[in-house]
Structure 1
Amino acid sequence: MAQNPTHEVVIIGGGSAGIATAASMLKRRPALDVAIVEPSEHHYYQPGWTMVGGGVFDAPVTCRSMASVMPRKVRWIRQAAATFQPESNRVTLADGSTVTYGILIVAAGIRLAWEKIEGLEETLGKNGVTSNYRYDLAPYTWELVQNLKSGRAIFSQPAMPIKCAGAPQKAMYLSCDAWMDRGVLGDIDVEFRNAGGVLFGVKEFLPALMEYVEKYRIALKLNQNLVSVDGPAKTATFKTEAGEETVEFDMLHVVPPQVAPQFVADSPLADAQSGFVDIDKFTLRHVRYPNVFGVGDAGSTPNAKTAAAVRKQAPIVAVNALAALDGKPPVADYDGYGSCPLTVERGRIVLAEFGYDGKLLPSFPKWVIDGTRPRKLSWLLKSEVLPWIYWNGMLKGHEWLVRPQVKTAA
């Protein structure tokens, strides 16, 4: 590889955001010179991990080789990015070499900060401590659910931002449904300990969710932040409004605090407060560097960080980045769309779809799918349709239902 290659477009990250954006750009401009900087050998369909933890999917169906999803015309740079020099349109890689760009798109994702919970890392995957937020741990969640017959099961949720804010609840509801089916739920004390002050941030979906909280007899505890875990003793300590509380558990499903990747947070591209890429929430273009864009979980936009948000953002970044490459202003806006299919029981889902400021943005008419109620059709969408669309549509530049509305010149 040349030491200092130059590409028209350099994308940092080969996750869903990076691959989908590259594919959308190449659909529009097949001769475009695109490079993706990504060290991983595997690519994951992360929305599937909730289903793995619920015994619906087997983990391997959520994993494919990075080579198999990389767009054919992309130059894959199999390294990690280390630092950004936006004043000179350059990225320095982990080995010290550099890559120069015309347009930079940062799709570096979000970092799971397991280390912020004392004692957690050394007990993950044993002592009844698990998390659907990791590929290797989601099967352990299902193992614990199958084996638990009595005791206390705690499901935790940290402060925002986290990716898929509904995932902590999804794990809980699917576990409760399995316990109810086996007739042991009455012997299990289920607690949802959420660092936030509400069960879910968009009020229209709360009635349906609360029905399931009551159905499963879940003890809902808000403003509770997990700060430490003692695996061998099977105790967890939460910071509460009244101080600290240490409780025993038989099963603990943990969602780790989540932060911007360090190399992004330390860079000139970062938002001073959040550490994420400082971008305009509509155009997704950097607020200081007009040839830099952010997409997916790495961006500072105040939307829910979900795969559905990425699916909507990627084509918008594609058309806006191509416009910038041509010396033109952005041509499309992002409305904050995100989706959270809340698996309230095996076979039914509350399909929460919303945008900025909690505005409801349903993809289907209410008579087809009423997203505020648990529906079998929503389950079919989550379990059968969306994985297929992910692998065969989104990652290949097909923009079904998310093609951006391009603004025409006045």
Structure 2
Amino acid sequence: MLKHFQILIIGGGTAGIMVASMLKRKSKSVNIAIIEPSDTHYYQPAWTLVGANTYSFEKTAKPMGSLIPKGVEWIREFADKFEPENNRVITKNGAEYTYDYLVVAPGLKIAPEMISGLKEAMDRGIVCSNYTNPKQTWETLKKFKGGTALFTQPATPIKCGGAPQKIMYLADEYFRKRELREHTDIVFALPSGSIFGVKVIADTLMEVIDKKDINVRFFHKLVKVDPDKKIAWYEIEKDITAGGCVTIADGDEKSLDKDIQYNYKDVKVTRSGDRYGIYFDMMHLAPPQSAPDFIIKSPLASETGWVDVDKGTMQHVKYPNIFSLGDVSNLPTSKTGAAIRKQAPVVVANILKLIEVNTLDTKQYEGYTSCPLVTGYGKMVLAEFDYSQNFEPDPKLKQFPLMISDSSKEHWRLWMLKKYGLPYLYWNKMMKGIEV
């Protein structure tokens, strides 16, 4: 039987629950359903801390049913197909649902298969990742006996772009505590030419890199992992024909391309054609990520595979009664829960205004996001920025008791914010639809 809802939400993650909760707070009469197959909702921002054994994994999970707002119907199925011309969504089980307004927020897909050999390496426990199993990350750190500790990330968009380096800073301190650091080379290989997109934050992080004596290898695009030989293979995303080499195997250290190699360490490397391999004794990475297949194949997706929306209103560019926010949207900002905190009120205001007078609200999303960059046990930097990559601290967050005057610098109070303040804000404010 075909069932109709005034508002249908795809996804019970941060974005889906927050939008549903805010809608119910502002209009109890509105008829809403959420399509979400998972039984458990995770507070994933804390998984960095789980991977460093300073937060309980169990505390990051709550039953999905406990977060679905009262009066919202929970459809425990997988969304599968969209028929926007008919205002219809079809599930994998073949059930059909129609809507007046659709909110698309299923999150993204972890896609290790996009890099040759990576899935096998992760399945065998050779490569660890806080994105998939933070408890295994901690086991990997405990078992590490020294050598090359490689931290890396893909060229795809990922959830919280700073996460691949947070665990590296924590690992450095853990290795020092175990008196392993002098027997360890830490290498951070990343595809971009800067450690962070916001200059004032990048400057702070490079000070951390210097202090911790970490080798950063820029313009390194991960293309293959050899789980048997423990080699990570990279292509260099920079023209090196004009001179300068990538590894010491190409010549003496003075000839290294400084745009590629920062604080060079003579770790074991190999080369095959245009590819450079780094041998590792332990490796942590953020796996490649993409929109879910049912989104990529849908009429809602842009050419890049993400849901195609206006960056200010989050209204679909083709279907005016469809909105998307969070990780699956093509909004040109970092994919974080902090971004959703600012996106959800705009989506909610727009839908309620459309219901009331068939026009959009005047609220606009300016691209705000933040990335809590843990730089060690008890230290953190808070990167807050907008679409223009300007450092823009949120006035509301500034009022939080643990905040400091300059969050672009390391501070223990920001660590307290990360470990205690933000989880409280998430479970008790955001998930309950309270605008913060």
* TM-score scaled by length of structure 2: 0.88
8 Å CA contact 1:162–1:305 kept in 2: the answer is yes
State yes or no: 1:16 paired with 2:14: yes
Q: Does 1:258 align with 2:289?
A: yes
CA positional deviation for 1:123:
2.4
1:177 corresponds to which residue?
Answer: 173
- Conserved 8 A contact 1:24-1:315: yes
In structure 1, which of residues 261, 276, 301 is the aligned counterpart of residue 306 of structure 2? 276
State the one-letter code of the partner of 1:267. S
What CA distance in whole angstroms lies between the structure 1 residues aligned with 2:72 and 2:50?
31
Of 58, 63, 68 in structure 2, the residue corresponding to residue 70 of structure 1 is: 68
Aligned to 1:220, the other structure's residue is in SS state: strand
Report whether the alignment pairs 1:394 with 2:425: no
SS at match of 1:123: helix
Counterpart residue number, 1:315: 345
CA distance in 1, matches of 2:361, 2:288: 33
Whether the 8 Å CA contact 1:34–1:74 is kept in 2: the answer is: yes
Matched, 1:297 2:333: no
Could you tell me how far apart the structure 1 residues matched to 2:346 and 2:412 are? 31
**1:134-182 Cα deviation digits (max 9, x unpaired):** 1xx2111112222223100101111141110000010111111211222
Counterparts of 1:124 and 1:369 in 2: how far apart (Å)?
A: 41
Instruction: Indicate the residue corresponding to 1:208 in structure 2.
Output: 204
What is the distance in 1 between the residues matched to 2:362 and 2:177?
A: 51
- Work out the CA distance in 2 between the residues paired with 1:28 and 1:367: 29
Instruction: Look up the match of 2:244.
Output: none
What do the CA deviations read for 1:255-287 (whole angstroms, capped 9, x no partner)? 111111111111111112x21111110011111
Q: Does 1:383 align with 2:419?
A: yes
Secondary structure, counterpart of 2:431 in structure 1: helix
Q: Secondary structure at the match of 2:232?
A: strand
Contact 1:20 1:395 in 2 (8 A): yes
Is 2:403–2:413's contact at 8 Å kept on the other side of the alignment?
Answer: no
Distance in 2, matches of 1:367 and 1:92, equals: 45
Shift of 1:360: 1.9
Letter of the 1:60 counterpart: E
Matched with 1:36 is 34
SS in 2 for 1:245: strand
Q: Does 1:191 align with 2:187?
A: yes
Residue 374 of structure 1 aligns to a residue in which SS? coil
Q: Which runs of 5+ in 2 are unaligned?
A: 241-273
Letter in 1 for 2:164: P
Aligned residue in 2 for 1:407: none
Deviations 1:203-225 (Å, cap 9, x if unpaired)? Answer: 11112101111112111001112
Which letter does structure 1 place at the counterpart of 2:32? V
- Choose the corresponding residue for 1:57, options 49, 55, 58: 55
Find the counterpart in structure 1 of residue 258 from structure 2: none
Helix, strand or coil: the match of 2:55?
coil
Q: Do the aligned residues in 1 keep the contact of 2:155 with 2:222 (CA within 8 Å)?
A: no
Q: Within 1, Cα distance between the matches of 2:114 and 2:368?
A: 30
Q: Distance in 2 between matches of 1:398 and 1:115?
A: 38
Contact 2:33/2:73, CA 8 A, preserved across alignment: yes
Distance in 2, Cα, partners of 1:64 & 1:204: 36
- What is the percentage of aligned positions where both structures have the same residue? 42
Is 1:119–2:155 an aligned residue pair?
no
Greater than 3 Å deviation, 4+ residue runs: 125-128
Residues 234 and 250 of structure 1 are in contact (CA less than 8 Å); yes or no, is this contact kept in structure 2? yes
Deviation string for 1:337-366 (max 9, x for gaps)? 111010001111010001111122213289
| Helix, strand or coil at the partner of 2:375 | strand
List runs of 5+ in structure 1 lacking aligned partners. Answer: 401-410
- Per the normalisation by structure 1, the TM-score is 0.93
Q: Deviations over 1:13-43 (max 9, x none)?
A: 0001000010011100012110000111111
Q: Secondary structure at the match of 1:356?
A: coil
| Equivalent residue, structure 2, for 1:403 | none
Note if contact 1:127-1:234 (Cα within 8 Å) is conserved in structure 2.
no
User: Which residue identity lines up with residue 13 of structure 1 in the other structure?
Assistant: G
1:378 counterpart SS class? helix
Letter in 1 for 2:19: T
Question: What residue is the counterpart of 2:157 in the other structure?
Answer: 161
Maintained 8 Å contact 2:156/2:290: no
Q: In the alignment, is the contact (CA less than 8 A) between 2:325 and 2:344 conserved in 1?
A: yes
Alpha-carbon offset, residue 367 of structure 1: 8.6
| 1:145 matched residue in structure 2 | 141
Q: Secondary structure at the match of 1:173?
A: helix
Structure 2 letter corresponding to 1:58: S
What is the distance in 1 between the residues matched to 2:155 and 2:135? 25
Could you tell me how far apart the structure 1 residues matched to 2:288 and 2:230 are? 20
Aligned with 1:109 (options 103, 107, 110)? 107
Match of 1:235 in 2: 231
Larger CA deviation: 237-246 vs 355-364 = 237-246
* 3-state secondary structure, aligned to 2:119: coil
Equivalent residue pairs, number: 395
The reply to whether residue 335 of structure 1 matches residue 357 of structure 2 is no
2:67 and 2:360 mapped to 1: Cα distance? Answer: 30
Separation in structure 1 between the aligned mates of residue 140 and residue 99 of structure 2, nearest angstrom: 48
Query: Between Structure 1 and Structure 2, whose CA radius of gyration is higher?
Result: 2
Helix, strand or coil for the counterpart of 1:14? coil
Matched residues in 2 for 1:325 and 1:32: separation?
A: 10
| Distance (Å, rounded) in 2 between the aligned partners of 1:127 and 1:158 | 19
1:196-243 superposed Cα distances (whole Å, 9 cap, x missing partner): 121111111112101111112111001112222222322221222462
Question: Contact 1:127–1:232 at 8 Å: present in 2 too?
Answer: no
